[in-house]
Amino acid sequence: MNNESFLSKYGLSIEHGGVKVGETYPIYGMITNIINDQPGEVLVEINFTIKAYLNLTTTEKVELIKRRSFDPAIFVSTVIDLD
C-alpha cells in the first residue's frame, strides 16, 4: 500500500507549517551538545541545531542528562525565540 492510499483509507492528511513563539511542541531527537551545565542555567543543543534551556535545578539532574545524552527522547518544548 502506498502512502497516498494509506492516508485516504484512514482519512488522514499531512500538513506542513511553521512553529510559533509561545506555542508548545514535541521534539523528537537527542541532546547532541551540552553548552552550559550549571544547575538553573542548563543550555543544550538538540539534533545538532536546536538550542534548548532545561529546567534542571540540581547537580544530580544535570549529571543524569549528561549520562543520557545521545539517547533518543521526546522533548516537550515551548518556543521562546525563532533566531
pLDDT tens digit string along 64-79? 999 999 999 999 999 9
pTM: 0.74
- Mean predicted confidence (pLDDT) in 40-60: 95
DSSP class per residue in 40-74: T-EEEEETTTEEEEE---SHHHHHHHHHHTTS-EE
